[in-house]
Every structure is written in structure tokens, then in C-alpha cells.
Amino acid sequence: MRLALLIFALIATPAVARDVEPEQPTYDQPSFERPDTPEPPEPPEPPEPPENEDEDRDPPVVVSPPPKKVSAPGLRCYFDEDGVRKVSFNKLVDPEMYKMGRKFCAKVPYKVMDVSLHCIEKDGKYRVQFSQELHSHKAVKKGQAFCICVFGLD
């Protein structure tokens, strides 16, 4: 009996399974209403005139003294607010020499907060002038190499 039902099911399956397409879905067209345009804001009221004439004046302008005239190429190594060592060069240093200056600042000990270096030429003699004594032999050598490159003696 089971065998007969199985055979019947296999024969009847293709007849039951029809290829009927599903109904097409219907779409409703959305409708949008335009929003109302906002009214322009009212103009602000004019400010009241000051009671005293002293309040109407601009604050005084403080004029800083002109910067010192730079006569020798040099640089300055310092720490910024975030604790990162920075280097600033004066106008007489060629941008090609910035790498040598950064090497000098990298060799300066971290306990030295602010140091500057100037390359001085006087009567055909060349000197390196530090703003404070450096106990790092490597920093002094890098500073001398920087000045040699700045003067073009290499």
C-alpha cells in the first residue's frame, strides 16, 4: 500500500505543480505637499547709543618694537605647549640646511629647554655661538656641522 501511494505521489506531482505567475503588485503614487515658506525674520532693533563717549572708543593699539636685525644665520630649539621639540630658523638660513638644524636639535639633551645657535663670521674666522653651555658632545658636533654647511665650507 505504501508503495502504491508513493508511485501515485510521484505521478501526480507534475500535474499539481503548475507554473502560475504571481499577481503584479500595485503601487500607489505618493503625493507630496509643498511646505509653507517661512516668513522673513523681523529686522533687529538698532543698538542704543552709548551713554558715555568713552565707551564708544576703540581699545588702544599696542605697537610692539620692531624685531632685532639678524646679522648671523641661526636657529632656536624649544618645546611647545604639548612637550614636542620644535625648531625655528631665522631668515638667513637656507631651507636646504633645515635638515642639519633638525639633527642638531635632536642631539640636544631634553633637560635643556631652550637653546639657540648662531653661526658668526668675523675677520675671516668662523665661530659657533650657543645660548648656553651644552654638555652633549654630539650636539656640539652637529651644531658645528650645521654652521660649516651654512657658510659653505664643506
Domain residue limits, the chain: 74-151
* Residue range 6-52, pLDDT digits in tens: 887 778 776 666 677 878 888 888 888 888 888 888 888 877 766 66
For residue 53, the model assigns a pLDDT of 57
Residue 51 CA: distances (Å) to CA of 36, 44, 55, 57, 59: 44, 20, 8, 12, 17
Tell me the backbone φ, ψ of residue 128, rounded to 5 degrees. -110, 125
* Residue range 55-107, pLDDT digits in tens: 556 666 666 565 555 578 889 998 888 888 889 998 888 888 899 889 898 88
For residue 151, the model assigns a pLDDT of 81
